[in-house]
Chain A
Amino acid sequence: MKASIDLKNNSISFEVSTKIYSKDIIYKACYVFIDRMYVLLDIPNKKDVILVTLKGKASLVKKDLEKMEGEFMNELLNSLVRENISKRNQKVLEQIVGGAMGAALGAGNMQNDDKLKSDGCNDNCDDNIESKEIEDAVAALRKELEAFEIGDDYESDALGIRDVQKSDVGNKKNKEKKNEKKK
Protein backbone atom coordinates (compact mmCIF):
# COMPACT_ATOMS: atom_id res chain seq x y z
CA MET A 1 0.00 0.00 0.00
CA LYS A 2 1.15 3.50 -0.84
CA ALA A 3 2.06 5.81 2.01
CA SER A 4 -0.36 8.59 2.85
CA ILE A 5 1.16 11.97 3.48
CA ASP A 6 -0.58 14.57 5.60
CA LEU A 7 1.28 17.84 5.10
CA LYS A 8 -1.08 19.73 7.40
CA ASN A 9 -0.30 17.28 10.18
CA ASN A 10 3.36 17.06 9.15
CA SER A 11 3.11 13.26 9.07
CA ILE A 12 3.37 10.20 6.87
CA SER A 13 1.60 6.88 7.44
CA PHE A 14 2.42 3.54 5.88
CA GLU A 15 1.76 -0.12 6.50
CA VAL A 16 4.39 -2.67 7.46
CA SER A 17 3.71 -6.37 7.00
CA THR A 18 4.26 -8.43 10.15
CA LYS A 19 4.73 -11.48 7.91
CA ILE A 20 8.01 -9.98 6.70
CA TYR A 21 9.05 -7.91 9.73
CA SER A 22 8.21 -9.26 13.17
CA LYS A 23 6.89 -6.96 15.90
CA ASP A 24 10.32 -6.96 17.59
CA ILE A 25 11.99 -5.81 14.38
CA ILE A 26 9.44 -3.00 14.03
CA TYR A 27 10.10 -1.98 17.65
CA LYS A 28 13.85 -1.86 16.98
CA ALA A 29 13.35 0.43 13.98
CA CYS A 30 10.99 2.62 16.05
CA TYR A 31 13.62 2.86 18.78
CA VAL A 32 16.10 4.32 16.28
CA PHE A 33 13.56 6.94 15.12
CA ILE A 34 12.03 7.82 18.46
CA ASP A 35 14.38 10.75 19.21
CA ARG A 36 14.07 12.25 15.72
CA MET A 37 10.33 11.94 15.11
CA TYR A 38 7.06 11.17 16.79
CA VAL A 39 6.30 7.52 16.12
CA LEU A 40 2.78 6.15 16.40
CA LEU A 41 1.86 2.51 15.91
CA ASP A 42 -1.61 1.22 15.23
CA ILE A 43 -3.36 -1.93 14.09
CA PRO A 44 -5.65 -1.31 11.11
CA ASN A 45 -8.52 -3.60 10.12
CA LYS A 46 -6.21 -5.55 7.79
CA LYS A 47 -4.60 -8.76 9.02
CA ASP A 48 -0.82 -9.10 9.57
CA VAL A 49 -0.19 -5.39 9.18
CA ILE A 50 0.96 -2.60 11.49
CA LEU A 51 0.28 1.00 10.59
CA VAL A 52 3.27 3.23 11.27
CA THR A 53 2.85 7.00 11.47
CA LEU A 54 5.90 9.23 11.52
CA LYS A 55 5.35 12.84 12.47
CA GLY A 56 8.09 15.42 12.20
CA LYS A 57 9.09 17.36 15.29
CA ALA A 58 9.99 20.28 13.03
CA SER A 59 7.95 21.17 9.93
CA LEU A 60 8.81 18.97 6.95
CA VAL A 61 8.01 19.08 3.25
CA LYS A 62 6.68 16.14 1.24
CA LYS A 63 10.15 15.11 0.11
CA ASP A 64 11.44 15.00 3.69
CA LEU A 65 8.52 12.85 4.82
CA GLU A 66 9.06 10.41 1.94
CA LYS A 67 12.74 10.27 2.83
CA MET A 68 11.81 9.46 6.43
CA GLU A 69 9.64 6.58 5.27
CA GLY A 70 12.51 5.26 3.15
CA GLU A 71 14.91 5.52 6.06
CA PHE A 72 12.47 3.70 8.32
CA MET A 73 12.09 0.87 5.80
CA ASN A 74 15.90 0.67 5.51
CA GLU A 75 16.17 0.47 9.29
CA LEU A 76 13.63 -2.37 9.31
CA LEU A 77 15.76 -4.29 6.84
CA ASN A 78 18.92 -3.48 8.79
CA SER A 79 17.39 -4.79 12.04
CA LEU A 80 16.14 -7.92 10.31
CA VAL A 81 19.55 -8.73 8.82
CA ARG A 82 21.32 -8.07 12.13
CA GLU A 83 18.94 -10.37 13.97
CA ASN A 84 19.40 -13.12 11.38
CA ILE A 85 23.19 -12.85 11.65
CA SER A 86 23.12 -12.91 15.45
CA LYS A 87 20.84 -15.99 15.37
CA ARG A 88 23.21 -17.72 12.96
CA ASN A 89 26.27 -16.90 15.07
CA GLN A 90 24.69 -17.63 18.43
CA LYS A 91 26.12 -21.16 18.72
CA VAL A 92 29.60 -20.01 17.76
CA LEU A 93 29.39 -17.19 20.31
CA GLU A 94 28.23 -19.59 23.01
CA GLN A 95 31.15 -21.90 22.24
CA ILE A 96 33.66 -19.04 22.39
CA VAL A 97 32.27 -17.76 25.69
CA GLY A 98 32.15 -21.30 27.08
CA GLY A 99 35.78 -21.85 26.07
CA ALA A 100 36.83 -18.57 27.65
CA MET A 101 35.01 -19.43 30.88
CA GLY A 102 36.62 -22.86 30.93
CA ALA A 103 40.06 -21.33 30.44
CA ALA A 104 39.38 -18.81 33.22
CA LEU A 105 38.37 -21.57 35.61
CA GLY A 106 41.70 -23.23 35.05
CA ALA A 107 43.20 -25.60 32.54
CA GLY A 108 44.20 -27.88 35.40
CA ASN A 109 40.62 -28.68 36.22
CA MET A 110 39.91 -29.54 32.60
CA GLN A 111 42.89 -31.90 32.54
CA ASN A 112 41.63 -33.60 35.68
CA ASP A 113 38.21 -33.97 34.11
CA ASP A 114 39.74 -35.66 31.09
CA LYS A 115 41.68 -37.98 33.34
CA LEU A 116 38.56 -38.89 35.30
CA LYS A 117 36.60 -39.49 32.12
CA SER A 118 39.32 -41.76 30.83
CA ASP A 119 39.14 -43.63 34.13
CA GLY A 120 35.46 -44.30 33.41
CA CYS A 121 34.10 -42.02 36.09
CA ASN A 122 30.74 -40.37 35.46
CA ASP A 123 29.50 -36.95 36.66
CA ASN A 124 28.12 -38.28 39.97
CA CYS A 125 31.51 -39.20 41.39
CA ASP A 126 33.15 -35.93 40.30
CA ASP A 127 32.36 -34.15 43.57
CA ASN A 128 33.73 -36.92 45.77
CA ILE A 129 36.97 -37.19 43.82
CA GLU A 130 37.39 -33.43 43.79
CA SER A 131 36.96 -33.12 47.55
CA LYS A 132 39.39 -36.02 48.07
CA GLU A 133 41.95 -34.26 45.89
CA ILE A 134 41.55 -31.08 47.92
CA GLU A 135 42.01 -33.01 51.17
CA ASP A 136 45.16 -34.66 49.80
CA ALA A 137 46.55 -31.31 48.71
CA VAL A 138 45.88 -29.80 52.14
CA ALA A 139 47.58 -32.75 53.86
CA ALA A 140 50.65 -32.40 51.61
CA LEU A 141 50.85 -28.70 52.38
CA ARG A 142 50.69 -29.38 56.12
CA LYS A 143 53.57 -31.85 55.83
CA GLU A 144 55.66 -29.28 53.95
CA LEU A 145 54.95 -26.65 56.55
CA GLU A 146 55.87 -29.00 59.37
CA ALA A 147 59.20 -29.72 57.66
CA PHE A 148 59.92 -26.00 57.48
CA GLU A 149 58.76 -25.28 61.01
CA ILE A 150 61.53 -23.95 63.24
CA GLY A 151 61.37 -25.63 66.62
CA ASP A 152 63.59 -23.32 68.72
CA ASP A 153 63.91 -19.66 67.86
CA TYR A 154 65.39 -17.43 65.17
CA GLU A 155 68.90 -17.72 66.68
CA SER A 156 69.14 -21.41 65.76
CA ASP A 157 69.23 -20.39 62.04
CA ALA A 158 67.61 -23.60 60.72
CA LEU A 159 67.68 -22.41 57.11
CA GLY A 160 71.41 -21.41 57.24
CA ILE A 161 70.75 -17.82 56.22
CA ARG A 162 73.49 -16.48 58.49
CA ASP A 163 76.19 -18.55 56.74
CA VAL A 164 75.10 -17.33 53.35
CA GLN A 165 75.18 -13.71 54.52
CA LYS A 166 78.65 -14.17 56.02
CA SER A 167 80.06 -15.66 52.85
CA ASP A 168 78.51 -12.80 50.83
CA VAL A 169 80.05 -10.20 53.13
CA GLY A 170 83.44 -12.01 53.00
CA ASN A 171 83.42 -12.04 49.22
CA LYS A 172 82.63 -8.34 49.10
CA LYS A 173 85.48 -7.47 51.51
CA ASN A 174 87.98 -9.55 49.46
CA LYS A 175 86.93 -7.76 46.27
CA GLU A 176 87.35 -4.35 47.91
CA LYS A 177 90.88 -5.26 49.12
CA LYS A 178 91.89 -6.42 45.64
CA ASN A 179 90.64 -3.17 44.14
CA GLU A 180 92.63 -1.11 46.66
CA LYS A 181 95.81 -3.06 45.89
CA LYS A 182 95.38 -2.42 42.16
CA LYS A 183 95.10 1.33 42.82
Chain B
Amino acid sequence: MKRKNSITLKLAHELYDPQSIEMAAGAFEELAEIAIVKNKHHTEIEFLSDEGENVLFEFANYALFLTIQSK
Protein backbone atom coordinates (compact mmCIF):
# COMPACT_ATOMS: atom_id res chain seq x y z
CA MET B 1 0.00 0.00 0.00
CA LYS B 2 1.29 3.45 -0.96
CA ARG B 3 2.07 5.90 1.82
CA LYS B 4 0.40 9.28 1.66
CA ASN B 5 2.80 12.24 1.60
CA SER B 6 1.94 15.67 2.85
CA ILE B 7 3.21 18.61 0.78
CA THR B 8 2.45 22.29 1.29
CA LEU B 9 2.28 24.92 -1.41
CA LYS B 10 1.97 28.69 -1.04
CA LEU B 11 0.32 30.60 -3.88
CA ALA B 12 0.38 34.40 -3.81
CA HIS B 13 -2.95 36.13 -4.46
CA GLU B 14 -1.14 38.71 -6.55
CA LEU B 15 -0.34 35.96 -9.07
CA TYR B 16 -2.98 33.30 -8.48
CA ASP B 17 -6.64 34.26 -8.38
CA PRO B 18 -8.10 32.85 -5.11
CA GLN B 19 -11.28 31.74 -6.91
CA SER B 20 -9.21 29.85 -9.47
CA ILE B 21 -7.34 28.10 -6.64
CA GLU B 22 -10.65 26.99 -5.14
CA MET B 23 -11.88 25.76 -8.52
CA ALA B 24 -8.65 23.81 -9.04
CA ALA B 25 -9.01 22.31 -5.56
CA GLY B 26 -12.51 21.18 -6.49
CA ALA B 27 -11.19 19.52 -9.63
CA PHE B 28 -8.38 17.70 -7.75
CA GLU B 29 -10.34 16.59 -4.70
CA GLU B 30 -10.59 13.02 -6.00
CA LEU B 31 -6.83 12.76 -6.48
CA ALA B 32 -5.74 14.15 -3.14
CA GLU B 33 -6.91 15.34 0.22
CA ILE B 34 -6.63 19.09 0.00
CA ALA B 35 -6.71 21.53 2.88
CA ILE B 36 -6.87 25.22 2.01
CA VAL B 37 -5.93 28.03 4.36
CA LYS B 38 -6.55 31.52 3.02
CA ASN B 39 -4.43 34.41 4.26
CA LYS B 40 -4.48 38.05 3.28
CA HIS B 41 -1.77 37.79 0.65
CA HIS B 42 -1.58 34.10 -0.18
CA THR B 43 -3.38 30.78 -0.04
CA GLU B 44 -1.70 27.85 1.64
CA ILE B 45 -2.59 24.46 0.21
CA GLU B 46 -1.78 21.25 1.99
CA PHE B 47 -1.78 18.17 -0.18
CA LEU B 48 -2.10 14.66 1.10
CA SER B 49 -1.75 12.26 -1.78
CA ASP B 50 -0.32 8.86 -2.59
CA GLU B 51 0.31 9.91 -6.21
CA GLY B 52 3.51 11.81 -5.42
CA GLU B 53 4.41 15.47 -5.74
CA ASN B 54 3.56 15.63 -9.43
CA VAL B 55 -0.12 15.96 -8.55
CA LEU B 56 0.76 19.07 -6.60
CA PHE B 57 2.52 20.62 -9.59
CA GLU B 58 -0.34 19.60 -11.88
CA PHE B 59 -2.63 21.36 -9.44
CA ALA B 60 -0.42 24.49 -9.53
CA ASN B 61 -0.43 24.42 -13.34
CA TYR B 62 -4.21 24.11 -13.42
CA ALA B 63 -4.64 26.96 -10.92
CA LEU B 64 -2.36 29.12 -13.08
CA PHE B 65 -4.28 28.14 -16.22
CA LEU B 66 -7.60 29.13 -14.61
CA THR B 67 -6.07 32.38 -13.39
CA ILE B 68 -4.85 33.26 -16.89
CA GLN B 69 -8.25 32.36 -18.33
CA SER B 70 -10.02 34.59 -15.83
CA LYS B 71 -7.93 37.65 -16.83
Binding site for B on A (CB under 8 A): 23-24, 27-28, 30-31, 34, 38-43, 50, 55, 57
Residues of B within 8 A of A23 (CB): 15
Q: At the interface, is chain A mostly helix, strand, loop or mixed?
A: mixed
Choose one: B14, B15, B65; the contact of A34 (CB below 8 Å): B65
Residues of B within 8 A of A42 (CB): 10, 12, 15
Question: A-B pairs with CB below 8 Å: how many?
Answer: 36
Binding site for A on B (CB under 8 A): 10, 12, 14-16, 54, 57-58, 60-61, 64-65, 67-68, 71
Residues of A within 8 A of B14 (CB): 43
Residues of A within 8 A of B10 (CB): 42
- Contact across chains for B61 and A43 when beta carbons are under 8 A apart: no
Given A27-B68, A31-B68: A38 and B15 within 8 A (CB)?
no
Q: How far is the CA of A7 from the CA of B16 in the complex (A)?
A: 26
Given A34-B64, A34-B65: A41 and B71 within 8 A (CB)?
no
- Contact across chains for B12 and A39 when beta carbons are under 8 A apart: no
From residue A79, how far is it (CB to closest CB) to chain B in Å? Answer: 12
Given A24-B71, A27-B68: A39 and B16 within 8 A (CB)?
no
Q: How far is the CA of A40 from the CA of B58 in the complex (A)?
A: 10
Choose one: A24, A38, A41; the contact of B58 (CB below 8 Å): A38
